């Protein structure tokens, strides 16, 4: 039948579109990105907050820091363990994690996240100075 | 209170709990790998079976909807899209139906207005349906970032467009808006809430609504809600999530540690939706293309549609009848169309 040919063609096209990720990635292994820690970061052992928190929710604390510094003028953050940090992306975060390309960008690119931090902050303030 | 939507709600709630509890007691492999694979298999097989079944079904009657003047004399303008008489017209009608829901736009409500019947345009269902479907499409396309590495540029563009509206709220106790707010997710949630409430609150619509209407709506509500929760409230390690999803599509399934329960709830509800899809009213995705009201030409006056079901019935026409009984009819004095001599002449 004439119609049947069209219907089957349509069905095949639809299923190809739906299963696109399967045949596009066929025979390919996509290992997750390995984040590189600098020697300084390794020596510190723990970031401002716990590892799990930083993995999933670091944007929250960066947001909070920005708010506290810019709106309230308070630059000192005390973490639950009582340790004090200067709230600064460029001077505190990037002090340990000086390797943005090997650290921040690895996961951001992987997950297709484009944070606007770098619209204002320069990548490596230490070198630029 | 109505048993139908309560039942649908209860089922979704139980599914929600099942995934939450399952991931809590260490059934990550089941909810993260086994069920999603099973769901995709059921979807593909079920979808193909349904469509092939439809393809094998004959169309007994020509029942195109005639939403305008059909083809007639040259000097009568034809509604070429609403009542197409050719293949291209049908294609356009189908395209506009799929992309803009024209038949839903025609939805009117009859009211008595100053003792006269008036038909009012009932536009909210159309708006709600458009918002729902396009938001869902956007959300679906955005999710391909979890299945493709690197994420294609067009998907990144879509993400940028979708998140152009920055909403960031930061008060003590409330922190919202990071990562960037995707409008489509919230439009989807609002639209599905509207479509559900419409079914529950309007008595006439409630009367015709079944569990199979409420269940997908509530399921999609659960999916949108868990997705939004996961993105803006109880965040998950997105790198681990992509590791899992990419593992699924590259047939190297892994279950990385440290993914929160919300992800497994989200994934499980999506799996249920995918598996349920071919057996539900959601099959209007494929069905719209196979609707005789949409894909037949409005040419019933020009061509006879023969029902393929018609059984070959042996008929005995009047001519054959007269041929058989001519002599006896003349003997009995009945009128005949052809006299004996005339018939004999023709036979020679």
CA B257 from chain center: how many Å?
37
Which site among A4, A19, A21, A105 would you substitute to test the B interface, given the most B Cβ atoms closer than 10 Å to its Cβ?
Answer: A21
CB contact under 8 A, B237 and A63: no
CA angle B21, B24, B29 (to 5 degrees): 95
Residue B240: closest CA among chain A residues belongs to which residue?
A: A32
Element (H, E) at B243: helix B238-249
Chain B hits for A22, CB-CB cut-off 8 Å, are: 249, 251
- Asked, for residue A91, whether it belongs to a domain, the answer is yes
CB contact under 8 A, A55 and B237: yes
* Residues facing B112 on adjacent strands: B117
CB contact under 8 A, B286 and A28: no
pLDDT band at residue A125 using 50, 70 and 90 as cut-offs = low
Which of B48, B159, B239 lies at the smallest CB-CB distance from A32? B239
- Rounded Cα distance between A110 and B146, Å, is 9
- Asked, for residue A109, whether it belongs to a domain, the answer is yes
Which of B170, B237, B260 lies at the smallest CB-CB distance from A63? B170
Give pTM, 2 decimals. Answer: 0.87
Check residue B341 and give its pLDDT: 82
Name the packing angle between helices B261-276 and B211-228 (round to 10°).
150
- Residues on A contacting B at a C-beta cutoff of 8 Å: 3-4, 7-8, 10-11, 14-15, 18-22, 24-25, 28-30, 32-33, 52, 55-57, 59-60, 62-64, 67, 107, 109-115
CB contact under 8 A, B286 and A25: no
- Asked, for residue A14, whether it belongs to a domain, the answer is no
- Rounded Cα distance between B266 and B248, Å, is 16
Range from B20-29, B52-61, B159-168, B214-223 that averages highest in pLDDT = B214-223
Residue B269: count of CB within 10 angstroms of its CB: 24
- Asked, for residue A8, whether it belongs to a domain, the answer is no
Mean pLDDT calculated for residue range A81-105: 85
Residue B244: closest CA among chain A residues belongs to which residue?
A: A32
CB contact under 8 A, A112 and B155: yes
B333: region left, alpha or beta (phi > 0 left; psi from -120 to 50 alpha) = left
CB contact under 8 A, A24 and B236: no
Chain B hits for A112, CB-CB cut-off 8 Å, are: 145, 150-151, 155-156, 159
Does pLDDT of A10 surpass 90? yes
Can you give the residue range of the structural domain that contains A46? 36-128
Q: What is the pLDDT of residues B66-124, one digit of tens each?
A: 888 989 999 999 998 889 998 899 999 999 999 999 989 988 888 888 889 888 888 89
Per-domain boundaries in chain B = 3-295, 318-347
Helix then strand then coil, in percent of chain A rounded to 5, is: 55, 5, 40
Closest C-alpha among B48, B49, B31, B46 to residue B275? B46
Check residue A119 and give its pLDDT: 85
Answer CATH for B3-295 from 1.10.3720.10, 3.20.20.120, 1.20.950.20, 3.50.50.60: 1.20.950.20
- Asked, for residue A22, whether it belongs to a domain, the answer is no
- Asked, for residue A42, whether it belongs to a domain, the answer is yes
CB contact under 8 A, B54 and A56: no
Mean pLDDT calculated for residue range B155-159: 93
The DSSP line for B42-89 is HHHHHHHHHHHHHHHS---S------S--S-STTS---TTTS--SHHH
- Rounded Cα distance between B179 and B163, Å, is 9
- Between the alpha carbon of residue B5 and those of residues A61, B198, B216, B273, the distances in Å are 41, 12, 11, 17
Check residue A27 and give its pLDDT: 81
Tell me the H-state helices in chain A: 2-18, 20-24, 39-44, 51-72, 94-96, 104-110, 117-120, 125-128
> Cα-atom radius of gyration of chain B, to the nearest Å?
30
Chain A hits for B154, CB-CB cut-off 8 Å, are: none
Check residue A128 and give its pLDDT: 47
Which of B40, B177, B242 lies at the smallest CB-CB distance from A110? B242
Report the SS3 class of residue A78.
Answer: strand
Q: Compute the count of residue pairs across chains A and B with CB atoms less than 8 Å apart.
A: 100
Q: What is the ipTM of this complex?
A: 0.88
- Asked, for residue A100, whether it belongs to a domain, the answer is yes
pLDDT band at residue B156 using 50, 70 and 90 as cut-offs = very high
Check residue B244 and give its pLDDT: 93
Say how many domains are in chain A.
1
Check residue B122 and give its pLDDT: 84
Chain B hits for A63, CB-CB cut-off 8 Å, are: 168, 170, 175, 177-178
């Amino acid at each position: 039948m004439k119609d049947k040919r069209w219907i089957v063609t349509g069905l095949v096209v639809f299923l190809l579109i739906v299963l696109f990720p399967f045949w596009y990635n066929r025979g390919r292994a996509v290992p997750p990105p390995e984040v590189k820690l600098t020697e300084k970061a390794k020596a510190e052992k723990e970031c401002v907050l716990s590892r799990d928190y930083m993995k999933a929710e670091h944007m929250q604390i960066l947001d909070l820091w920005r708010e506290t510094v810019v709106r309230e003028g308070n630059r000192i953050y005390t973490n639950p363990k009582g340790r004090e940090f200067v709230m600064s992306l460029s001077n505190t975060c990037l002090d340990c994690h000086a390797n943005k390309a090997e650290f921040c960008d690895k996961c951001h690119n992987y997950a297709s996240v484009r944070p606007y931090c770098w619209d204002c902050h320069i990548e490596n303030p230490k070198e630029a100075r | 209170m109505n048993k139908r939507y309560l039942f649908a709600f209860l089922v979704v709630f139980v599914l929600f709990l099942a995934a939450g509890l399952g991931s809590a007691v260490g059934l990550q492999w089941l909810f993260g790998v086994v069920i999603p694979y099973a769901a995709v298999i059921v979807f593909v097989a079920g979808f193909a079976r349904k469509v092939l079944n439809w393809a094998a079904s004959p169309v007994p009657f020509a029942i195109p909807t005639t939403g305008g003047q059909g083809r007639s004399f040259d000097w009568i303008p034809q509604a070429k899209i609403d009542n197409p008489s050719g293949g291209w017209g049908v294609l356009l009608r189908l395209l506009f139906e799929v992309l803009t829901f024209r038949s839903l736009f025609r939805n009117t409500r009859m009211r008595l207005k100053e003792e006269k019947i008036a038909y009012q345009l009932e536009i909210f269902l159309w708006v709600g349906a458009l918002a729902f479907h396009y938001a869902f499409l956007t959300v679906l396309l955005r999710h391909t970032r979890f299945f493709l590495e690197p994420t294609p540029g067009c998907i990144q563009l879509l993400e940028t467009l979708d998140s152009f509206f920055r909403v960031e709220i930061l008060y003590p106790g409330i922190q919202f808006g990071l990562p960037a707010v995707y409008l489509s997710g919230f439009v989807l949630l609002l639209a599905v809430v509207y479509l559900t409430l419409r079914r529950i609150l309007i008595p006439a619509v409630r009367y015709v609504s079944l569990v199979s209407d409420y269940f997908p709506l509530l399921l999609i509500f659960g999916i949108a809600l868990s997705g939004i929760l996961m993105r803006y409230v109880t965040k998950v390690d997105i790198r681990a999530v992509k590791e899992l999803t990419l593992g699924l599509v590259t047939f190297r399934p892994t279950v990385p540690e440290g993914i929160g329960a919300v992800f497994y709830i989200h994934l499980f509800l999506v799996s249920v939706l995918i598996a349920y899809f071919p057996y539900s009213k959601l099959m209007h995705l494929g069905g719209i293309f196979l609707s005789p009201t949409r894909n037949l030409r409005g040419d019933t006056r020009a061509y006879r549609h023969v029902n393929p079901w018609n059984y070959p019935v042996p008929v005995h026409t009047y001519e054959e009848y007269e041929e058989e009984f001519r002599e006896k009819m003349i003997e009995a004095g009945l009128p005949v169309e052809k006299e004996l001599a005339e018939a004999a002449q023709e036979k020679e």
